[in-house]
A = this chain, B = another copy of it.
């Protein structure tokens, strides 16, 4: 029943007719929109439990592809215009849409931070809360996406992401096992960084 996506495989494109909404079951997907000049804005990452592909005027407003191998379950979204037909799907989609709005607003606050390092810290806190795992007394973040994805999410360059992470490493706030495996040594200082103090 779930549909499997290989890394980099597309689920839908911008302005495709939206026949389905998709529930992410495993893996991570990336919702992006393209600038006229070819640059990319990452709008959001979809983690397990997220509902992605909400339509606007019957079409997808972003494109979506897999950051890692992923599984998704498709739900027809024809009935969205008629809440009486399928009230339970309707409620779920409504809740997802309202949550999405709230998440996008949080994303704005992230982009509105002063320094690049504050944005990166805020992003890491987000991942920590969302997909952090316990490792002894510390917590670990498996970063599924690469530096360019993070850069396009935060409106920065990959070089700047790298420099911020290096800075956290030198300050002993985090340690890197490899480029995609981060141990958070000092959560409270990371949260302080995210708030500019």
Contacts and interface: CB of A to CB of B under 8 A. Distances in A.
Interface string A1-36: 000000000000000000000000000000001011
Contact of A108 (B33, B90, B97): B33
Interface in A35-60: 35-37, 39, 41, 43, 54-57
Interface stretch (A79-87, A124-132, A142-150): A79-87
21 contacts: A33-B108, A35-B109, A35-B113, A36-B195, A37-B196, A39-B112, A41-B112, A43-B105, A43-B108, A54-B98, A55-B98, A61-B101, A61-B102, A80-B94, A83-B84, A90-B90, A97-B101, A101-B104, A104-B104, A108-B111, A111-B111
Interface of A: 33, 35-37, 39, 41, 43, 54-57, 61-62, 80-84, 87, 90-91, 93-94, 97-102, 104-105, 107-109, 111-113, 155, 195-197
